[in-house]
Amino acid sequence: MNLAQVKELLQAEVLSGEEKLATTHALSVCGADLMSDVLAFTKEKTLLLTGLTNPQVIRTAEMIDLVGLVFVRGKRPSEDVIAMARERGLPMLSTKLPLYETCGLLYTAGLPGCSARAANG
């Protein structure tokens, strides 16, 4: 699924990387607020759903090449953090939905979690 489809599904606002949404594909999704868990358990080409909006989320995305970020519960990072994402060409969305419902919508639409991807190779 590409991030333009994710944006539609979640009725999300685009915060950065609008030009890359249609060409950026997520193979799996991770929902977490703990960056150490994200570092430990995600595969490549993963979309992260999170309620954290600090610079370490962008750093984490950079370290493990996350395909994009979705901030849940209507959260928005500061302009500094949005600028960091733009510099790195990292797509970011913000949805009003809470984490559980965001996960549910993407899972029902066919996007697996990282552990399912690991099990299926």
Partner 1 sequence: MIQRFPVAGEDFSAAGEASSKIKNILRQVGEDAELIRRVCIAAYEAEMNLVIHAGGGEMILKLDTDMVEVIAQDRGPGIPDVELAMQEGYSTASDLAREMGFGAGMGMANMKRCASEMLIDTEVGKGTTVTLRFKTGKN
CB 69 within 8 A of CB 90: yes
Quote the least distance from Cβ 42 to partner 1, whole Å: 10
Please identify, using beta-carbon distances, which residue of 21 and 71 lies nearer to partner 1: 71
Subset of 56-75 contacting partner 1 (CB under 8 A)? 56-57, 59-60, 62-65
d(CA 2, CA 40): 24
82 binds partner 1 per the rule CB under 8 A: no
With CB under 8 A as the contact rule, the residue among 8, 19, 44, 87 that binds partner 1 is 44
35 binds partner 1 per the rule CB under 8 A: yes
What are the CA-CA distances from residue 113 to residues 24, 44, 49, 85, 90 (Å)?
A: 17, 12, 11, 24, 21
Quote the least distance from Cβ 66 to partner 1, whole Å: 11
CA count, 13 A, side-chain hemisphere, 1: 21
CB 35 within 8 A of CB 56: yes
Please identify, using beta-carbon distances, which residue of 8 and 65 lies nearer to partner 1: 65
Footprint of partner 1 (CB under 8 A): 33-40, 44, 52, 54-57, 59-60, 62-65, 80
